[in-house]
Amino acid sequence: MATIVFDIETSALPLENFDETQKEYLFRETEKLADEAAKTAKREEITKFMSLWPFTSQVVCIAMLNAETQRGQVQFLAEDFEDDAGEAGPVEFVPCADEIELLTAFWDVAKHYDNVVTFNGRGFDVPFIYLRSALLNVPISKKNWLGYRFATEPHCDLAEQLTFYSVSGRDGAARRFNLDFYCKAFGIESPKSHGVTGMDVGTLLAEKKFRDIAEYCLRDVRATVELYKIWKNRLAGIK
């Protein structure tokens, strides 16, 4: 059965996209603070987290690879299609005019795959693209990717597998680490080794460095593929 590995990058929508009632709701916690400096700090913290919520941010890039062939696509928002399109070996870079086009293209590819592999996709990527697709009325071709948590088909979430479903809590032997830490531990090239992290996506988008976002997202997916191979060969089947 064909397996797709994917990752998304997101960026907060401008505050002017929301009405006054929505903004009051988003920043309600700041009004509980008396100190102005504390209010400012809390507002900045909330603004930073807005990129993680599907009702306050958008998908700006999705990278995907076939787990077996490592052929795939990176679909990403861009303004200059000619400069940003192209291929990197077996991977095609596909610039999109807007989020609707991006999500539509993603679900068109996804429908050809039986299984999906992610790192923290059950907690973030999958619900995020489900909700963004629903908000934008983009048809979803795979509605079973959240699935049963304690199963690896159709969705194998490596963050769940490497913690054995959080068996030992936050501080035990199977505590959870980020993708960068796991990669370094298992001798895989970290996607952050090129100096870009997910926290840089908003800045790169503002600077119109669309291809940089796409290449970073692809590095995330390539690292996830390698981590998946290690899990499959050494740990799969442990109960």
- Along the chain (239 residues), what's the average pLDDT of each consecutive run of 10 residues? 96 96 95 88 93 97 97 93 65 96 98 97 97 98 94 96 93 94 96 80 92 95 98 93
Say which CATH number the domain at 151 has.
Answer: 3.30.420.10
Identify the domain containing residue 64 by its residue range. 3-18+56-234
Instruction: Give the separation between CA 148 and CA 160, rounded to whole angstroms.
Output: 12
What's CA 51's distance to the chain center, in Å? Answer: 11
| The pair of three-digit structure tokens given for residue 140, joined into one six-digit string | 């979803």
Residue 45 lies in a domain: no
| The pair of three-digit structure tokens given for residue 56, joined into one six-digit string | 């306050």
Classify residue 189 by its DSSP letter: P
Question: Nearest Cα to 94, choosing from 132, 140, 61, 71?
Answer: 61
Instruction: Give the separation between CA 74 and CA 91, rounded to whole angstroms.
Output: 7
Question: Among the residues of the chain, which ranges form H helices?
Answer: 20-26, 36-49, 81-84, 99-110, 126-135, 158-161, 179-186, 201-206, 210-234
pLDDT at 80: 73
Residue 111 lies in a domain: yes
Residue 50 lies in a domain: no
pLDDT at 147: 86
Residue 34 lies in a domain: no
pLDDT at 34: 84
Question: Nearest Cα to 221, choosing from 84, 87, 91?
Answer: 91
pLDDT at 192: 84
Instruction: Give the separation between CA 18 and CA 56, rounded to whole angstroms.
Output: 9
pLDDT at 176: 95
Residue 179 lies in a domain: yes
Q: Residue 167 — φ and ψ, nearest 5°? A: -60, -30
Residue 128 lies in a domain: yes
Which sign does the torsion angle of CA 230, 196, 45, 48 carry?
negative
Domain count, the chain: 1
